[in-house]
Amino acid sequence: MHPPVTVTFLGIAHSESLEADIRARAVKLDACGRGIVSCHVAVGVPHRHHGKGNPFSLQVAVATPGEEIAVKREGQRKELRAVIRDAFNVVRRRLLEHAEKQRHAVEHGSSI
């Protein structure tokens, strides 16, 4: 079952291709952490400081029954796809760590 994914664009133009990329990466997370309840992704302009080029902010929040994983990254618009990839890699690693903790707790009969 694929988790419900919400993609929000804040202060920047909506991009169908960017949203499709984000949704595809979110669906792949389901293989890493069974039981994902939701996935929220926000892409936007972090602040209105003018001397920093074209900044953007990316926030990914994934909720599981035992934990919520949140990752925030900032970068330049020309690096947007690379930052998205890196943020989802971090989320994937954290989901795997969470699944390992749960597996370890079940094997040893302790509670998390």
The count of domains in the chain is 1
> The domain spanning residue 19 has which CATH number?
3.30.160.100
Please, where are the H alpha helices in the chain? 16-29, 80-108
0.85 exceeded by the pTM? no
Tell me the pLDDT tens digit for each residue of 7-27: 999 988 899 999 999 999 998
Euclidean distance between CA atoms 41 and 39, whole angstroms: 7
Domain ranges, residue 59: 5-108
Tell me the pLDDT tens digit for each residue of 46-85: 766 555 667 888 999 999 887 899 999 988 878 889 999 9
